[in-house]
Amino acid sequence: MLSELKLDQPRKLRVALVCGSLREGSCTKVALEYVANYIESHADAFHLDLQLAPLPFFTEQNKQENQLVIEFIDQIKNADAILIGTPEYHGSLTGVLKNALDYLSKDELKNKPIALVAVGAGQYGGIGALDAMSSIMKNLHALVIPYQAAISSSHKVIQNGEVVLNEYKSRLEHVAEQLLLFTKRISSTDIQHQTVAA
C-alpha cells in the first residue's frame, strides 16, 4: 500500500521525532518508537532528545547563542516532516515540550507536515494535548496531518515498554503512513516556500 513511496523518490525522507517526556521508559517514548519503527522502512527517523540534549528555558539570548538550541532549530529546519509526542499534563502538552517549540518559527515549520501523538492516563487522556499541539502548529503555519493518535488509559495500552493492544498498534501505524504519504507529496516540491507574488 505504501509502495508508491518506494518509487521516484530522489532521496530518503527525513523525519524528526520530538518527545515531550523526560521520564525514563515513558509511555510516550514507547509510542513514538513504535511509529518510528514503522517509518524507518521508508524514511530516516531521528530523535531530537530533550533528555540527552536539554534545552534551557527560552530567552532571545539562548536562541541566538546556546549550541543545543541552535542544533535543535537546525535539525527541525532540515527535516522533511516531524513527529511530535507528548504526555498530557492538565489537558495540554508538557512544559518541556512547549519550551522547545518556543524556539521555533514559521521559518522552520511553514507547510511542514507534522504528525501528533498524545498519551494520557485517564479516560480522555491525550485529546486535550492533541488540540493544544494542533493549535500551536496552526499558529506556526505547519501542516498538521488530519489523523492523530490519542492513547488514553495508557497503562492498558502500553505495558513493559510495549504497545500491547492491536487497536492502538493500528492507530500508530496509520499515523506513520499518513505522515509519509503527505510528506511525499508536500516535501518533494517547493510548496513550503510559496508566497504571494509581489
- Can you give the binding site for its own copies, defined by CB under 8 A? 1, 22-23, 54, 57-60, 89-102, 104, 110-111, 123-124, 127-128, 131-132, 134-136, 138-144, 146-148, 150, 152, 170, 173-174, 177-178, 181-182, 185-186, 189, 191, 194-197
In the complex with its own copies, the residue whose CB is nearer, 70 or 140, is: 140
- Give the phi and the psi of residue 42 in degrees, each rounded to 5: -125, -10
Cβ-count burial of 164 within 10 angstroms (0-12 exposed, 13-18 middle, 19+ buried)?
exposed
Q: How far is the CB of 194 from its own copies (least distance, A)?
A: 6
Burial 70-97 (b: 16+ CB within 10 A, else e): eebbebbeebbbbbbbbbbbeebbbebb
In the complex with its own copies, the residue whose CB is nearer, 33 or 177, is: 177
Residues near 35 by Cβ (< 8 Å), separated by ≥ 6?
Answer: 17, 83, 85, 115, 117, 172, 173, 175, 176
Q: Which set of grid coordinates corresponds to residue 79? A: 527535516
Q: How far is the CB of 127 from its own copies (least distance, A)?
A: 5
In the complex with its own copies, the residue whose CB is nearer, 14 or 98, is: 98
In the complex with its own copies, the residue whose CB is nearer, 73 or 101, is: 101
Amino acid at 25: G
Q: How far is the CB of 74 from its own copies (least distance, A)?
A: 19
Q: How far is the CB of 33 from its own copies (least distance, A)?
A: 18
